[in-house]
Amino acid sequence: MSLTTQPLVRRHPDDLLVGLVSISDRATSGVYQDEGIPALKSWLGTALSSSWQASERLVPDEASAISAALIELVDVVGCDLVLTTGGTGPARRDVTPEATLAVATKEMPGFGEQMRQVSLHFVPTAILSRQVAVIRETADHAALIINLPGQPKAIRETLEGLRDAEGNVLVQGVFAAVPYCIDLIGGPYSETHDAVVKAFRPKSARRPPAQ
């Protein structure tokens, strides 16, 4: 895991800085190998067509530890986007949403609503998920923080959405809205591979294709 507490250095103005946080008591204690961060890195590697780099954290299911990791990744490391995985269910130790809301400036409820909508196409227990998304703002920086499920398959489904056998989008995944949200809070202009997830921007916000 990358544990640097120093700011990530952008290689160019559109370099997307991403924080990846896996929340698990058992993975933190070494009972099993963490699967959340590898799944996130793999998916981002296939989805993003523009430059990005990541800083990683593995933390236990402790609200104070989760909040501290989120604050550090946004305020110190300078991440534009932070993705968490794990700790969003109804169990007593599942406190990721509360820890995320504790560091928020604005709540973005549409992300959680859409993630549950996607997951309901696969499992009825999606209604037990409590993922939230928020904006955290400092004096000169802002970041989008999104809670994702703990299972790699569910991570991909909620980010990517649901397609039919011909590849037509049936239900949008939440990542389609992420690049434009980051634009709006002053972050870099990121682009995706349409075959994985097509980033949506209104025409007025799109850059002309590179010549």
User: What share of the chain in percent tops pLDDT 70?
Assistant: 97
Total structural domains within the chain? 1
The answer to the question of residue 2 being in a domain is: no
User: pLDDT per residue over 18-64, tens digit each?
Assistant: 999 999 887 777 777 888 999 999 999 999 999 999 999 999 999 99
The answer to the question of residue 1 being in a domain is: no
Q: Give the dihedral sign, CA 50/56/62/66.
A: negative
The answer to the question of residue 211 being in a domain is: no
The answer to the question of residue 68 being in a domain is: yes
The answer to the question of residue 210 being in a domain is: no
User: pLDDT per residue over 160-181, tens digit each?
Assistant: 999 888 888 889 999 999 999 9
pLDDT of residue 1: 42
The answer to the question of residue 135 being in a domain is: yes
Tokens of 202: 């209104």
Residue 54 sits in a domain whose CATH number is: 3.40.980.10
pLDDT of residue 167: 82
The answer to the question of residue 3 being in a domain is: no
DSSP codes of every residue in 138-175: -SS-EEEEEEE-SSHHHHHHHHHEEE-TT--EEEE-GG
pTM: 0.94
The answer to the question of residue 209 being in a domain is: no
Range of the domain at 178: 16-203
